Structure 1
Amino acid sequence: MKPLSVECIRTILSGDLIQGSDDVIVHFGAYRLKQIKNQNTILFLRNNVVNLKKLVEYFPVVLVTDQTISRGVLYKNLTIIKVMDVEEAYWKFVNYYRSLFQIPVVAITGTAGKTTTKAMISHILSAEKTITATNSTNNSRTAHLQYLLSIDDDTEAAVFETAVGAPGDVLKAGEYFKPTIGIITNIGAHHLNYCKTLEGYIQAKGEMAKILDHSSVLIINSEDHNTKKIDLSNYLGRIIKVGIDPSCHFKADDIKYCKDGMQFCVLHEEKYYSVFVPGYGEHQVYNALAAIAAVHEIGIDLPVAADRLKTYKNLNKHLQVYEGLNGSTILDDTWSMTTTSLEAALKVLSEVGETKKRVAILGTITDLGSWGYAIHEQAGEIICKIGVDILITIGYHASIMADQALESGLNAQVYTFSNNPLAYDLLTKIVDENTIILIKGDMYSKPMIELASQLRKKH
């Protein structure tokens, strides 16, 4: 955080100094008690009651409140700023702080690929710029303030994920970050427990266009069916399309699987550029196209971006390849589980395992609410369309995928289990060096992660 004096902050907030000194310097910000981890933090106190004893170890602390605090509980090294409305004061502070920095800010949303795209952009930019970015997949709304305050005078660019758990989440992120470049990687079917319908989810992702102004850039996947449903009629900025369609501003050609990744050419402004991106799958090509388009907007030449992309390290549990049980090959994709990422993973299994026995071990898709049954049926149809030789599901809802795949005509051996040990016992008997195994679940499914670890060869 750029250090700010209490006097400066008080002026911004039109607040009164009730206790303490205008000379205190603030280095951190919080709006929840548990977010205070350091001294010299400003806390916007939204609750009527706070146990100040819990803050003593972090003093000096600056408290912004619209409540009257009893003189009997005041402490040394506690500065209090009284405001008319603490919520209004909080947003004054957020808007002021963001206005201090005229830098490129990239915001990324999408059902799949946003963390990878963010990581690619960060990797390319960090070679010559000081950047800040969301940490791993920690993209919840409670983290927005900390990420905003991670921008300081040395920061030259910022890259943030803007996840959708419910309608309004992207709009809220926009209030903090005010991005200059927005990216929608793709839109599948997810978080229907709060978005209620696929249309509601599409609209929630489409909020990206609403948080960008007329001078901004929106990067979209031109082939994504659901992204095409977003109403962009009121968006006044530029739109950059990436994909394989001739209309794309960044068009991928001659896509090939090669050792440890994907090789392809990018056509941009009638010039071709050769690109290699670590990590398997055509979805990885789309992630790379979005990243290249974003960094090009920030001023990185395409040959430079392509050269830096070669050294990108594919993310943990994103279709990582390992030697596995009985000499088999393991594709560990236990990071996330949506129909979008499932389809991408099964395509990789099909391509990389073309000459091998293809085994898919699949867990449950979460955050679907009342849509759970229908979405798992859709997943079963996807499995049937792409095909596997052996399908293993773990968990009740995952078994719906197996049933639907069989009903749709899947020609494969199918097993449904309620737990890991049963699946592992079967695998010890049916896999060998001519077997490739995709194991797919999400980061919150400990059983799937544990099974993936069991299947890896121990050195």
Structure 2
Amino acid sequence: MLRNMTLAQVADVVNGELLQPEFADVLISSVSTDTRSLIDGALYIPLSGDNFNGHHFIAQAENEGAIAALTSEDVATSLPLIRVDNTLLALGRIAGWQRDQFSGLVIAVTGSAGKTSVKQLTASILTQTFNTWMTQGNLNNHIGAPLTLLALKPEHEAAMIELGASGLGEIAYTAQFVKPLVGIITNAVPAHIEGFGSLQGIVETKGELLDFIQPNGTAVLNADDANLAQWQQRAAHLQQLAFGFSELADVRATNIRCSLEGSEFDVLCDGQTVAIKLPLLGEHNVRNALAVIAATHAAGLSWDHIVKGLQASVTVKGRLQPCRGAAGQLILNDAYNANPTAFKAAIDVLKGTENSWVVMGDMGELGSDEIAAHTDVGTYAKTSGIEHFVATGPLSRNAATAFGESAHWFEDKPALIRFLQQHTQKQDVLLIKGSRYTGMDQVVAALQNGNEEI
């Protein structure tokens, strides 16, 4: 909820012109870019894209209770209007103003993989001490991050902000408004590489977060990532903590035990050894937890709250989420998204498991490496001892071919579902994963419901 602003203040913050000066003292208490979520007292900000123009809905916004609007076009309305050059940038500026009014703790995370899990784990710890707000769903882009800041309420004492990017400069854009005390970079891997041009483009974009951490703040960096030195140099003006399994890590895990029930490990930090139980699957989530431990430790939280917060964490829907199929199969629902590094980490969870199945959908946005990346995942599954490999989608056919003769590839999801319904039983463990656009969550739902059709 936006802290009350007059329209005169809004105009000043966004470098705009209030076209009806007689409304200068009118107060707004919220901001919305969507007429479907407007509440009384709202400022409507129309955004425009290739296939939509929010200016066309200003009249509807008035009907839904908006009391003013921004505009970069000539529009006919009785609403008070503030004219700006760019409504998207104006949204960010208002969010930045809102952030400046917030005196609580702000932690931010970016990276190619693990952002959402780190966000959830951090928020779980912060809530042990603070009234905490965090990024909801996937509102982590150039629109979602400002909206997240604008949803901060006066009663909030801490915020955990997730920052995603689809291209160069996007983290810099959002981080300038977030200004965290602690910033986490989980990793940089070839995920969504098309928008960045190269892996180096991803490394530089994730590193943009470091430029906007508060001067007395801390950069939390992955000691196991090949790009650590680049980020350390970029963050030379900040305090730093490295996390990971490497001897170079300031926050390091030892004695790691992973199972299909969760993970246990000892964390070494500041000369202390602390036992941790984590109800999340996979060694990669141990590393995510180390990032969170480093960040919350840097922010001054107690070990008691850190341990309790990790133990209280819950699996994010669609990210190695255990559930049961209608035939009793154990399904690891990892259908939210996929990239080669994350796919291999998920396969690692099944290592040593009997009756293991990998159910693969295509991985998107890999550019010219897409065929090699899918082939590599199929090979990795085979060498990891996976017993059964089934796939759908044109790119995943390369993975099935690499896995070998015992793999099965299907032209569409209904055919794959029918095969799984007919050939999997109670003793089987199925990892189901693919990029979001492939809709592999539909396969999960069909197996849970016992349906042979989507």
Same fold (TM over 0.5): yes
What number of residue pairs does the alignment pair up? 444
> Which position in structure 2 is the counterpart of 1:262?
263
Indicate whether 1:360 and 2:358 are aligned. Answer: yes
Correspondent of 1:416 among 398, 409, 412: 409
Indicate whether 1:449 and 2:441 are aligned. Answer: yes
Distance 1:127 1:186 in 2: 27
Closer, same or farther in 2 for the Cα pair 1:95/1:331, shift >3 Å?
A: closer
Distance 1:329 1:50 in 2: 49
For 1:249-288, what aligned pairs fall within 5 Å after superposition?
249-258=250-259, 260-288=261-289
Structure 1 window deviating more from structure 2 (149-158 vs 112-121): it is 149-158
Contact 2:130–2:157 (CA under 8 A) maintained in structure 1: yes
Structure 1 window deviating more from structure 2 (42-51 vs 114-123): it is 42-51
- 1:313-348 CA distances to partner (integer Å, 9 max, x unpaired)? 111222222333644332221121111211111110
Distance 2:116 2:86 in 1: 36
> Which position in structure 2 is the counterpart of 1:57?
63
Contact 1:254–1:265 (CA under 8 A) maintained in structure 2: yes
User: Following TM superposition, by how much is the alpha carbon of 1:153 offset from its aligned partner in structure 2, in angstroms?
Assistant: 2.5
Structure 1 window deviating more from structure 2 (305-314 vs 316-325): it is 316-325
Q: SS at 2:31's partner residue?
A: strand
Closer, same or farther in 2 for the Cα pair 1:128/1:419, shift >3 Å?
A: same
Closer, same or farther in 2 for the Cα pair 1:425/1:242, shift >3 Å?
A: same
User: Following TM superposition, by how much is the alpha carbon of 1:17 offset from its aligned partner in structure 2, in angstroms?
Assistant: 5.8
Closer, same or farther in 2 for the Cα pair 1:43/1:329, shift >3 Å?
A: closer
For 1:25-424, what aligned pairs fall within 5 Å after superposition?
25-30=27-32, 32=33, 34=35, 37-43=38-44, 52-65=58-71, 73-75=76-78, 78-81=79-82, 93-228=94-229, 230=231, 232-233=233-234, 235-258=236-259, 260-324=261-325, 326-351=327-352, 353=353, 356-406=354-404, 413-424=406-417
Computing the radius of gyration from Cα coordinates, the structure with the larger value is 1
**Which amino acid in the other structure matches residue 404 of structure 1?**
A
Closer, same or farther in 2 for the Cα pair 1:433/1:234, shift >3 Å?
A: closer
Contact 2:182–2:299 (CA under 8 A) maintained in structure 1: no
Distance 1:89 1:326 in 2: 53
Q: SS at 1:396's partner residue?
A: coil
Closer, same or farther in 2 for the Cα pair 1:428/1:179, shift >3 Å?
A: same
User: Following TM superposition, by how much is the alpha carbon of 1:66 offset from its aligned partner in structure 2, in angstroms?
Assistant: 6.6
Structure 1 window deviating more from structure 2 (376-385 vs 84-93): it is 84-93
- 1:162-186 CA distances to partner (integer Å, 9 max, x unpaired)? 1121111111111221222111112
Q: SS at 1:313's partner residue?
A: coil
Contact 1:362–1:392 (CA under 8 A) maintained in structure 2: yes
Structure 2, unpaired ranges of 5+: none
**Which amino acid in the other structure matches residue 300 of structure 1?**
L
Contact 1:253–1:265 (CA under 8 A) maintained in structure 2: yes
Q: SS at 2:202's partner residue?
A: helix
Distance 1:415 1:162 in 2: 37
User: Following TM superposition, by how much is the alpha carbon of 1:240 offset from its aligned partner in structure 2, in angstroms?
Assistant: 0.8
Closer, same or farther in 2 for the Cα pair 1:304/1:6, shift >3 Å?
A: same
Distance 1:194 1:344 in 2: 23
> Which position in structure 2 is the counterpart of 1:437?
430
Distance 1:270 1:390 in 2: 44
User: Following TM superposition, by how much is the alpha carbon of 1:301 offset from its aligned partner in structure 2, in angstroms?
Assistant: 0.7
> Which position in structure 1 is the counterpart of 2:23?
21
Structure 1 window deviating more from structure 2 (109-118 vs 328-337): it is 328-337
**Which amino acid in the other structure matches residue 136 of structure 1?**
G
Closer, same or farther in 2 for the Cα pair 1:236/1:51, shift >3 Å?
A: same
User: Following TM superposition, by how much is the alpha carbon of 1:74 offset from its aligned partner in structure 2, in angstroms?
Assistant: 4.7
Q: SS at 2:38's partner residue?
A: coil
Distance 1:291 1:85 in 2: 36
Closer, same or farther in 2 for the Cα pair 1:386/1:16, shift >3 Å?
A: same
Closer, same or farther in 2 for the Cα pair 1:91/1:253, shift >3 Å?
A: closer
Q: SS at 1:444's partner residue?
A: helix
Contact 1:383–1:405 (CA under 8 A) maintained in structure 2: yes
Distance 2:148 2:182 in 1: 17
Q: SS at 1:266's partner residue?
A: strand
CA-based RMSD of the aligned residues comes to 2.9
> Which position in structure 2 is the counterpart of 1:427?
420
Contact 1:439–1:452 (CA under 8 A) maintained in structure 2: yes
Distance 2:275 2:105 in 1: 26
TM-score calculated relative to the size of structure 2: 0.88
Q: SS at 2:81's partner residue?
A: strand
**Which amino acid in the other structure matches residue 27 of structure 1?**
S
Distance 2:113 2:322 in 1: 19
Distance 1:203 1:321 in 2: 35
Q: SS at 2:136's partner residue?
A: coil
Q: SS at 1:141's partner residue?
A: coil
**Which amino acid in the other structure matches residue 61 of structure 2?**
L
Structure 1 window deviating more from structure 2 (436-445 vs 83-92): it is 83-92
**Which amino acid in the other structure matches residue 233 of structure 2?**
L
Closer, same or farther in 2 for the Cα pair 1:91/1:242, shift >3 Å?
A: closer
Distance 1:90 1:137 in 2: 18
User: Following TM superposition, by how much is the alpha carbon of 1:90 offset from its aligned partner in structure 2, in angstroms?
Assistant: 5.8
Structure 1, unpaired ranges of 5+: 407-411
User: Following TM superposition, by how much is the alpha carbon of 1:208 offset from its aligned partner in structure 2, in angstroms?
Assistant: 2.1
- 1:228-254 CA distances to partner (integer Å, 9 max, x unpaired)? 554734641112111122332211111
> Which position in structure 2 is the counterpart of 1:409?
none
